[in-house]
Amino acid sequence: MKKFFSSLFDLIKIVLVTLAIVIPIRYFLFQPFFVKGESMKPNFDNNQYLIVNEIDYRFSQPQRGDVIVFRYPRNPQIYFIKRVIGLPGEKIEIKNNRITIYNQDHPKGLILKENYLPSRTATNGSVSILLKNDEYFVMGDNRLFSYDSRRFGPVKRNLIIGKAWLSIWPLETITTPKY
């Protein structure tokens, strides 16, 4: 009987130590995320399983081209995955299938080049928006079928959870995202 309680106590210790390690990692450093929908094709597929890095954005800000997971501005219970197109303080203009960025470095505008997308990817819509100091403009890679900042507006910094860091499922997709 004594051996049974000793084994049970050892098992409880292992479970507690495991939880003490796993819980902080899961809730403060890295978070799993399932891609839902086709808005990030061809770079991310429906039901692809990702690990989201929550650490980077505690020490730095999202950059143009980053793929981020964030809370939907109109319902923070819902999570979205999109690509950062516009940064705080910039003016974003979309017309004639082109995205033009206006900022301090490019006051006359810079046409956005997106090497992570197939050539001739159409970016429909007509948008002109000036981002506030805590706002980001995000879009899906599947531009014709993405519900993004063109429709729901900019994403505030406090809604951003983290950066897509690693794709781990299905196994053939194990890779880091294209930026």
Which among 3, 7, 39, 108 is annotated as catalytic?
39
Which among 82, 146, 163, 167 is annotated as catalytic?
82
Token pair in block for residue 162:
């983290």
- The C-alpha atoms of residue 116 and residue 42 are separated, in whole angstroms, by 9
For the question of residue 82 being annotated catalytic, the response is: yes
Type of residue at 75? N
CA angle, 143 as apex, 179 and 80 as ends, to 5°?
Answer: 70
Type of residue at 93? E
Q: Are 66 and 175 in contact (CB under 8 A)?
A: no
Tokens 């014709």 correspond to what residue?
A: 144
Strand order in the sheet with 135-139: 30-34, 49-53, 160-169, 67-72, 75-86, 135-139, 155-156
- The C-alpha atoms of residue 23 and residue 27 are separated, in whole angstroms, by 6
For the question of residue 178 being annotated catalytic, the response is: no
Which of 49, 66, 45 is closest to 57 using CA atoms? 66
Catalytic sites, residue numbers = 39, 82
